[in-house]
Protein backbone atom coordinates (compact mmCIF):
# COMPACT_ATOMS: atom_id res chain seq x y z
CA UNK A 1 0.00 0.00 0.00
CA UNK A 2 2.75 2.41 0.99
CA UNK A 3 4.67 1.25 -2.07
CA UNK A 4 1.69 1.98 -4.33
CA UNK A 5 1.19 5.51 -2.99
CA UNK A 6 4.90 6.26 -3.29
CA UNK A 7 4.81 5.08 -6.91
CA UNK A 8 2.04 7.59 -7.67
CA UNK A 9 3.81 10.49 -5.95
CA UNK A 10 7.28 9.97 -7.41
CA UNK A 11 8.36 11.68 -10.62
CA UNK A 12 11.68 9.86 -10.91
CA UNK A 13 10.76 6.99 -13.22
CA UNK A 14 13.82 4.94 -12.32
CA UNK A 15 12.74 4.82 -8.67
CA UNK A 16 9.18 4.06 -9.78
CA UNK A 17 10.35 1.00 -11.72
CA UNK A 18 12.38 -0.24 -8.75
CA UNK A 19 9.33 0.17 -6.51
CA UNK A 20 7.17 -1.72 -9.01
CA UNK A 21 9.62 -4.59 -8.75
CA UNK A 22 9.45 -4.41 -4.96
CA UNK A 23 5.67 -4.40 -5.12
CA UNK A 24 5.67 -7.56 -7.27
CA UNK A 25 8.08 -9.25 -4.91
CA UNK A 26 5.80 -8.40 -1.97
CA UNK A 27 2.81 -9.83 -3.86
CA UNK A 28 4.81 -12.97 -4.56
CA UNK A 29 5.47 -13.31 -0.84
CA UNK A 30 1.76 -12.84 -0.25
CA UNK A 31 0.97 -15.66 -2.71
CA UNK A 32 3.40 -17.95 -0.92
CA UNK A 33 1.69 -17.09 2.37
CA UNK A 34 -1.63 -18.06 0.73
CA UNK A 35 0.04 -21.36 -0.31
CA UNK A 36 -0.13 -20.72 -4.04
CA UNK A 37 3.51 -21.36 -5.02
CA UNK A 38 2.67 -21.68 -8.73
CA UNK A 39 1.32 -18.13 -8.85
CA UNK A 40 4.10 -16.85 -6.61
CA UNK A 41 6.67 -18.24 -9.05
CA UNK A 42 5.10 -16.43 -11.95
CA UNK A 43 4.70 -13.19 -10.04
CA UNK A 44 8.27 -13.19 -8.80
CA UNK A 45 9.85 -13.94 -12.16
CA UNK A 46 7.55 -11.98 -14.45
CA UNK A 47 6.56 -9.12 -12.18
CA UNK A 48 9.74 -8.52 -10.26
CA UNK A 49 12.19 -9.75 -12.88
CA UNK A 50 11.27 -9.54 -16.50
CA UNK A 51 8.81 -6.64 -16.54
CA UNK A 52 11.26 -4.58 -14.48
CA UNK A 53 13.97 -5.23 -17.04
CA UNK A 54 11.57 -4.42 -19.90
CA UNK A 55 10.57 -1.15 -18.26
CA UNK A 56 14.23 -0.27 -17.70
CA UNK A 57 14.89 -0.99 -21.36
CA UNK A 58 12.04 1.36 -22.26
CA UNK A 59 13.40 3.95 -19.86
CA UNK A 60 16.72 3.82 -21.67
CA UNK A 61 14.87 4.95 -24.80
CA UNK A 62 13.03 7.83 -23.12
CA UNK A 63 13.90 10.35 -20.42
CA UNK A 64 14.28 9.57 -16.77
CA UNK A 65 11.94 12.16 -15.29
CA UNK A 66 8.22 12.44 -15.76
CA UNK A 67 6.90 15.79 -17.05
CA UNK A 68 4.83 17.76 -14.60
CA UNK A 69 1.23 17.65 -15.92
CA UNK A 70 -0.20 20.99 -17.03
CA UNK A 71 -3.52 20.58 -15.21
CA UNK A 72 -4.84 18.49 -12.36
CA UNK A 73 -6.83 15.48 -13.54
CA UNK A 74 -9.95 15.69 -11.41
CA UNK A 75 -12.29 13.58 -13.58
CA UNK A 76 -10.04 10.48 -13.63
CA UNK A 77 -9.58 10.84 -9.88
CA UNK A 78 -13.37 10.87 -9.39
CA UNK A 79 -13.80 7.81 -11.65
CA UNK A 80 -11.10 5.91 -9.76
CA UNK A 81 -12.56 6.82 -6.38
CA UNK A 82 -16.10 5.78 -7.37
CA UNK A 83 -14.90 2.48 -8.87
CA UNK A 84 -12.79 1.81 -5.79
CA UNK A 85 -15.73 2.53 -3.52
CA UNK A 86 -17.88 0.06 -5.48
CA UNK A 87 -15.16 -2.60 -5.30
CA UNK A 88 -14.82 -2.17 -1.54
CA UNK A 89 -18.61 -2.31 -1.26
CA UNK A 90 -18.44 -5.58 -3.24
CA UNK A 91 -15.95 -7.13 -0.83
CA UNK A 92 -18.54 -6.90 1.97
CA UNK A 93 -20.46 -9.71 0.28
CA UNK A 94 -17.43 -11.91 -0.36
CA UNK A 95 -17.57 -15.26 1.39
CA UNK A 96 -15.31 -15.58 4.45
CA UNK A 97 -11.72 -16.53 3.61
CA UNK A 98 -11.06 -20.26 3.63
CA UNK A 99 -14.51 -21.34 4.85
CA UNK A 100 -15.28 -24.88 3.62
CA UNK A 101 -18.86 -24.08 2.52
CA UNK A 102 -17.83 -21.26 0.15
CA UNK A 103 -19.35 -21.52 -3.34
CA UNK A 104 -15.92 -22.11 -4.94
CA UNK A 105 -15.43 -25.20 -2.84
CA UNK A 106 -18.83 -26.62 -3.80
CA UNK A 107 -18.57 -26.51 -7.59
CA UNK A 108 -15.85 -28.39 -9.49
CA UNK A 109 -13.02 -28.08 -6.97
CA UNK A 110 -13.94 -31.21 -4.93
CA UNK A 111 -14.07 -33.26 -8.10
CA UNK A 112 -10.63 -32.03 -9.18
CA UNK A 113 -9.18 -32.72 -5.75
CA UNK A 114 -10.77 -36.13 -5.29
CA UNK A 115 -10.61 -37.63 -8.76
CA UNK A 116 -7.71 -36.02 -10.61
CA UNK A 117 -5.41 -38.51 -8.90
CA UNK A 118 -7.17 -41.39 -10.64
CA UNK A 119 -8.10 -39.65 -13.89
CA UNK A 120 -4.85 -37.81 -14.59
CA UNK A 121 -2.48 -39.60 -12.26
CA UNK A 122 -0.17 -36.73 -11.34
CA UNK A 123 0.14 -35.32 -7.84
CA UNK A 124 0.08 -31.59 -8.67
CA UNK A 125 -3.61 -30.79 -9.08
CA UNK A 126 -2.82 -27.30 -10.39
CA UNK A 127 -0.97 -28.81 -13.33
CA UNK A 128 -3.67 -31.33 -14.12
CA UNK A 129 -6.35 -28.63 -14.05
CA UNK A 130 -4.29 -26.30 -16.21
CA UNK A 131 -3.05 -28.75 -18.79
CA UNK A 132 -5.82 -31.30 -18.96
CA UNK A 133 -9.23 -30.22 -17.63
CA UNK A 134 -8.70 -26.70 -18.90
CA UNK A 135 -6.52 -27.66 -21.85
CA UNK A 136 -8.33 -25.32 -24.21
CA UNK A 137 -7.76 -22.33 -21.93
CA UNK A 138 -4.06 -23.02 -21.69
CA UNK A 139 -3.87 -23.43 -25.46
CA UNK A 140 -5.54 -20.03 -25.75
CA UNK A 141 -3.02 -18.51 -23.33
CA UNK A 142 -0.12 -19.90 -25.29
CA UNK A 143 -1.54 -18.43 -28.46
CA UNK A 144 -1.97 -15.08 -26.65
CA UNK A 145 1.71 -15.08 -25.64
CA UNK A 146 2.68 -15.91 -29.20
CA UNK A 147 0.43 -13.16 -30.55
CA UNK A 148 1.91 -10.64 -28.11
CA UNK A 149 5.35 -11.55 -29.40
CA UNK A 150 4.25 -11.05 -32.98
CA UNK A 151 2.69 -7.71 -32.07
CA UNK A 152 5.86 -6.41 -30.46
CA UNK A 153 7.92 -7.62 -33.39
CA UNK A 154 5.66 -5.83 -35.83
CA UNK A 155 5.80 -2.60 -33.83
CA UNK A 156 9.45 -2.62 -32.74
CA UNK A 157 10.86 -5.02 -35.32
CA UNK A 158 13.78 -4.48 -37.58
CA UNK A 159 16.29 -5.35 -34.87
CA UNK A 160 17.81 -8.09 -37.00
CA UNK A 161 18.08 -5.75 -39.95
CA UNK A 162 19.78 -3.02 -37.91
CA UNK A 163 22.12 -5.58 -36.37
CA UNK A 164 23.12 -6.87 -39.78
CA UNK A 165 23.74 -3.37 -41.05
CA UNK A 166 25.89 -2.57 -38.06
CA UNK A 167 27.93 -5.73 -38.48
CA UNK A 168 28.44 -4.86 -42.12
CA UNK A 169 29.60 -1.36 -41.23
CA UNK A 170 32.17 -2.65 -38.75
Residues that bind other proteins (CB under 8 A): 37-38, 41-42, 45-46, 49-50, 53-54, 57-58, 60-61, 118-124, 126-128, 130-132, 135-136, 138-139, 141-143, 145-146, 148-149, 152-153, 156-157, 159-160, 162-163, 165-166, 169
Residue closer to other proteins (CB basis): 84 or 135: 135
User: How many helices and strands, by DSSP H and E, does the chain display?
Assistant: 10, 0
> Residue 25's closest CA among 52, 61, 6?
52
Residue closer to other proteins (CB basis): 86 or 136: 136
Residue closer to other proteins (CB basis): 97 or 136: 136
Tell me how far, at minimum, the Cβ of 89 lies from other proteins, in Å: 34
Give CA–CA dist 72/65, Å, rounded. 18
Cβ-contact 65, 15 below 8 angstroms: no
Residue closer to other proteins (CB basis): 63 or 159: 159
HSE-CB for 167 with a 13 A CA cutoff: 6
Amino acid sequence: MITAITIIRLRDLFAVIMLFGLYSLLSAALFVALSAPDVAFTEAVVGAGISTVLMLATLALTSRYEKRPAHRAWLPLAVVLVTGAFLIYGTIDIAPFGAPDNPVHQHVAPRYLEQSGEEIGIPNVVTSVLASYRGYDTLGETVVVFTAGIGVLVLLGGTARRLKRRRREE
